[in-house]
Amino acid sequence: MAATSEIADFTRHLGHYLRPAEVALVETAYSFSEAAHRGQFRRTGDPYITHPLAVASILSEWRLDAQGVCAALLHDVMEDTAVTKAEIELKFGKAVAALVDGLSKLDQIEFQSREEAQAENFRKMLLAMAKDIRVILIKLADRLHNMRTIDVMEPDQRQRIAQETIDIFAPIANRLGLNALYQELQDLAFRQLRPLRYRVLAKAIKAARGNRREVVGKMLDAIQARLRAAGIEAQVSGREKTVFSVHKKMLEKDLSFSQVFDIYGFRILVNDVTSCYAALGVLHGLYKPYPGKFKDYIAIPKANGYQSLHTTLFGPYGTPVEIQIRTQEMHRVAEAGVAAHWLYKDLPDDKDLAQAQQQTHHWLESLLEIQSESRDSSEFLEHVKGDLFPDEIYVFTPKGRIMALPRGATPVDFAYAVHTDIGHHCVAAKVNRDLAPLRSALRNGDQVEIVTSPSAKPNASWLSFVATGKARSRIRHYLKSLHQRESAQLGERMLQQALAALGASGLPDSGVHWDRLIKAYSVRTRQEVLADIGTGRRHAFVVAQALIAAGERQPAPNPGSSRTPISLDGVERVAIQYAKCCRPVPGDPIVGEFRVGQGMIVHLHDCPVLHKRGPEAGQILDVAWSKDVEGDFDAGIRLVVADQRGVLARVAGAIAEAEANIENVSMDRPEGETVVHMFFAIQVRDRRHLARVMRALRRITEVQKILRPKS
């Protein structure tokens, strides 16, 4: 049993902010948890109940409500004992049961790998957090106590848990504005991940603290005296950089420890916003400020609600010292973040806190939106990680609205942050009234305007540069839907071809046939079956036979019936690929190679690469170009030309005059020869257009040989 004095201190502290009836409920939860965990011990040798009690004590320091503290005491009973959610709900209510359920891992489900299990656990936890923020507050307190007592674990477990802490839990704490927790989690994780580095830096910081004590003391006295003289009531305290923050600065700035001067800083707390700026003026009069080192997070708060003035001054002997100036209310939000909702919920009209709550609410809503568009847990976790950047930039809409985005965000991220439709239809961007590439990184203070077009669509290449989870998930969802539609259209044509070969007149009109088939395949819609055919997950002839059998009519196959080729109209850019080895264009005789998971790849009928693979190639289908084929298609031309000045320009000019686009050029000059081998990747409309380009090239006197390579 946990030490009686610890329980007494815990309940005494609860009595400072909870009503007697609520304290009694917490005591009941403790007794219930202690009985459930009786006989269980931690690796430290302590009774297991000491862990939930420690977690509940951390939350009581944040003044979490009675339901949250009860859930903390019970957070492991469903996972480690025979207690069920129904029992917790019966004894403590639905809210406590829902919190405990949101915290429980998914041990009863079998996963393919530890990574998949971890991703699914995070998915469940973050979605529960989106419904009730107390879930993550309890989880963070749980992780903090586990990190404080992690030394008893095996080395590989310590490494894994520490990496998870620094990758996920510390950034979440930062995103929620829990600054003190964020820094402690980082330091605890760093101590496990880089133990030698941690010890060396901790020793160096301790030594530096002693060496700079005189300088720090002199500055503290000077700042307090100058503020008193100016009539500004303020609390001045020293603050030291954490070991991890020193390590991070050394890495980012490529500095040695001796070059990191601002290990020690000061925090100044004043009564109101006006006094913040007045104190800033006093300090800039006392010590010279570093140019470009001033940040006003009061006028433009961080996304997690953090507000403060930051400035770096030249202290005595030229030592740079960082100063933070904020009000008492801002300090509460900076230290407690969203937990301040419970700690100071009785305060009237706290605008700073309301803003932090609103921004957190928007982020939690975005988690639910990303979840609805993610294919699996790993993808969801990837998107969420993208939104946990500790550094942010602040940009403006044309109307002056401030938007916070992660560092590295682009105009596409901005467009999706404004609205999904704006993102889907953006074609260009103006940054500070000048046109800028969609992939350009935005900077602090940029004004961004998005140019849209109703016909524009998301581009798969955007995924290579977007920085926000929202943008990435929206783009992927759109492309997935587009792929699904095009695959279903291709699958329908393939199924019609298979039915014709089996002697059926076409796709059955009756829904009964499809209902039976859908039930047999355990899918939801006809579209899913057709899309599966289009992507190669189902064989068209097998589905055709099953569809005929579902209609209880079995026509004999008609060997004499010709298989109608699948018609290509050139707009299929997702479900159908055109082979890079032979680059077919409209007018060429073609075949379709059907590969599982890739869909159809179109080749020239005599493509040497396809024929060389032989049995390894996928199913070969009859395909033909539609009469109304449209679009530009990739083609290749190989030239042998005399090596003369300006020949490349003349060749490129001839291709351009023939109205073809040049996508790529490569050249090679064989040793000892006076000719150059050129390869042009170009875009043409059809075979006739390609022939016109080749005729134009033959008219150039330096061109000795021209051919169209087929591999």
What's the angle, vertex CA 356, arms to CA 64 and CA 475, rounded to 5? 115
Last residue of a domain, one of 446, 467, 488: 467
Place of tokens 């390894």: 616
Structure tokens at 258: 């001796």
Q: Could you tell me what percent of the chain has a pLDDT over 90?
A: 28
The answer to the question of residue 96 being in a domain is yes
- CATH number of residue 33's parent domain: 1.10.3210.10
Structure tokens at 347: 């305060």
Within this chain, do residues 339 and 206 fall inside the same structural domain, yes or no?
A: yes
What is the pLDDT, as a whole number, of residue 364?
Answer: 61
| Residue 53 near residue 6, CB atoms below 8 Å | yes
What is the pLDDT, as a whole number, of residue 556?
Answer: 45
Within this chain, do residues 119 and 11 fall inside the same structural domain, yes or no?
A: yes
Q: CB pairs under 8 A, 24+ apart, for 528-531?
A: 529/491, 530/487, 530/488, 530/489, 530/491, 530/492, 530/495, 531/484, 531/487, 531/488, 531/491
What is the pLDDT, as a whole number, of residue 79?
Answer: 85
What is the pLDDT, as a whole number, of residue 359?
Answer: 58
| Residue 437 near residue 337, CB atoms below 8 Å | no
What is the pLDDT, as a whole number, of residue 345?
Answer: 44
Within this chain, do residues 463 and 546 fall inside the same structural domain, yes or no?
A: no
What is the pLDDT, as a whole number, of residue 444?
Answer: 81
Sequential DSSP letters for 604-673 = ETT-HHHHHHGGGS-EEEEEEE-TT--S-EEEEEEEEEE--TTHHHHHHHHHHHTT-EEEEEEEE--TT-
Average pLDDT of the chain, as a whole number: 81
The answer to the question of residue 432 being in a domain is yes
The answer to the question of residue 83 being in a domain is yes
Within this chain, do residues 40 and 101 fall inside the same structural domain, yes or no?
A: yes
Within this chain, do residues 231 and 310 fall inside the same structural domain, yes or no?
A: yes
Query: Of 75, 42, 56, 50, whose CA–CA distance to 10 is shortest?
Result: 56
Within this chain, do residues 79 and 130 fall inside the same structural domain, yes or no?
A: yes
What is the pLDDT, as a whole number, of residue 253?
Answer: 78
Q: Quick one: pLDDT band at residue 369, thresholds 50, 70, 90?
A: low
Spell out a b/e string for 328-353, using b for 16 or more CB atoms within 10 Å of the CB, else e.
ebbbbbbbbbbbbbbbeeeeeebebb
Count: domains in the chain: 5
The answer to the question of residue 404 being in a domain is yes
- Does residue 648 carry a pLDDT above 80? yes
Query: Of 383, 407, 408, 394, whose CA–CA distance to 475 is shortest?
Result: 383
What is the pLDDT, as a whole number, of residue 336?
Answer: 67
The answer to the question of residue 383 being in a domain is no
- How does pLDDT run across 433-442, given as a tens digit for each residue? 899 899 999 9
Q: Which of residues 561 and 300 earns the better pLDDT score?
A: 300
Within this chain, do residues 110 and 45 fall inside the same structural domain, yes or no?
A: yes
User: Once rounded to an integer, what is the mean pLDDT over residues 171-192?
Assistant: 87
Provide the angle, in degrees to the nearest 10, between the axes of the packed helices 469-501 and 411-418: 80
The answer to the question of residue 600 being in a domain is no
Last residue of a domain, one of 540, 564, 588: 564
User: Once rounded to an integer, what is the mean pLDDT over residues 406-426?
Assistant: 90
What is the pLDDT, as a whole number, of residue 571?
Answer: 55
Q: CB pairs under 8 A, 24+ apart, for 649-658?
A: 650/700, 650/702, 651/678, 651/680, 651/697, 651/700, 651/703, 654/693, 654/696, 654/697, 654/699, 654/700, 655/680, 655/682, 655/693, 655/696, 655/697, 657/696, 658/689, 658/692, 658/693, 658/696
The answer to the question of residue 575 being in a domain is no
Structural element, H or E, at residue 228:
helix 213-229
Q: Is 591 in a helix, a strand, or coil? A: strand
- Does residue 211 carry a pLDDT above 70? no
- CATH number of residue 692's parent domain: 3.30.70.260
Spatial distance between the Cα atoms of 292 and 289, rounded to a whole number of angstroms: 9
Spatial distance between the Cα atoms of 660 and 684, rounded to a whole number of angstroms: 6
Within this chain, do residues 324 and 258 fall inside the same structural domain, yes or no?
A: yes
Within this chain, do residues 403 and 484 fall inside the same structural domain, yes or no?
A: no
- Does residue 130 carry a pLDDT above 70? no
Q: Quick one: pLDDT band at residue 593, thresholds 50, 70, 90?
A: confident
DSSP 18: S
What is the pLDDT, as a whole number, of residue 488?
Answer: 80
Residue 642, CA distances (Å) to 674, 675, 704 in order: 6, 5, 7
Catalytic residue ranges: 79-80
Largest CA distance in the chain: 105
Query: Of 400, 310, 301, 299, whose CA–CA distance to 358 is shortest?
Result: 301
List of residues 6+ apart from 682 with CB closer than 8 A = 634, 635, 636, 637, 655, 660, 661, 662, 663, 693
> Which region among 82-86, 570-574, 623-627 has the lowest average model confidence (pLDDT)?
570-574
44 burial via Cβ count (<10 Å: 0-12, 13-18, 19+):
exposed
- Does residue 386 carry a pLDDT above 60? no
Parallel/antiparallel/unpaired status of strands 619-625 and 566-568: parallel
Provide the angle, in degrees to the nearest 10, between the axes of the packed helices 66-74 and 85-92: 150
> Which region among 375-379, 567-571, 682-686 has the lowest average model confidence (pLDDT)?
375-379
Print the domain residue range for 214: 202-343
User: Once rounded to an integer, what is the mean pLDDT over residues 341-361?
Assistant: 49
411 burial via Cβ count (<10 Å: 0-12, 13-18, 19+):
buried
Spatial distance between the Cα atoms of 53 and 74, rounded to a whole number of angstroms: 9
The answer to the question of residue 332 being in a domain is yes
Spatial distance between the Cα atoms of 29 and 70, rounded to a whole number of angstroms: 6
Spatial distance between the Cα atoms of 414 and 404, rounded to a whole number of angstroms: 9
Spatial distance between the Cα atoms of 249 and 245, rounded to a whole number of angstroms: 6
DSSP E strand stretches across 397-454: 402-406, 426-431, 434-436, 448-452
Q: Which of residues 566 and 410 earns the better pLDDT score?
A: 410
Spatial distance between the Cα atoms of 354 and 237, rounded to a whole number of angstroms: 27
| Residue 579 near residue 601, CB atoms below 8 Å | yes
| Residue 662 near residue 654, CB atoms below 8 Å | no
Within this chain, do residues 491 and 546 fall inside the same structural domain, yes or no?
A: yes
| Residue 216 near residue 236, CB atoms below 8 Å | no
Within this chain, do residues 436 and 499 fall inside the same structural domain, yes or no?
A: no
Last residue of a domain, one of 343, 361, 380: 343
What is the pLDDT, as a whole number, of residue 73?
Answer: 94
| Residue 610 near residue 591, CB atoms below 8 Å | yes
- How does pLDDT run across 258-274, given as a tens digit for each residue? 777 667 788 999 999 99
- How does pLDDT run across 460-512, given as a tens digit for each residue? 788 888 888 788 888 888 877 877 787 787 778 778 777 776 677 666 655 67
Q: Could you tell me what percent of the chain has a pLDDT over 70?
A: 80
| Residue 367 near residue 384, CB atoms below 8 Å | yes
Spatial distance between the Cα atoms of 703 and 682, rounded to a whole number of angstroms: 17
Place of tokens 């961080």: 302
What is the pLDDT, as a whole number, of residue 552?
Answer: 47
Within this chain, do residues 511 and 529 fall inside the same structural domain, yes or no?
A: yes
User: Once rounded to an integer, what is the mean pLDDT over residues 529-546?
Assistant: 75
User: Once rounded to an integer, what is the mean pLDDT over residues 355-364?
Assistant: 57
- Does residue 182 carry a pLDDT above 80? yes
User: Once rounded to an integer, what is the mean pLDDT over residues 358-374?
Assistant: 59
Q: Is 684 in a helix, a strand, or coil? A: strand
User: Once rounded to an integer, what is the mean pLDDT over residues 597-614?
Assistant: 79
> Which region among 301-305, 332-336, 362-366, 591-595 has the lowest average model confidence (pLDDT)?
362-366
Q: Quick one: pLDDT band at residue 184, thresholds 50, 70, 90?
A: very high
Query: Of 237, 218, 404, 223, whose CA–CA distance to 304 is shortest?
Result: 404
- Does residue 298 carry a pLDDT above 50? yes
- CATH number of residue 435's parent domain: 3.10.20.30
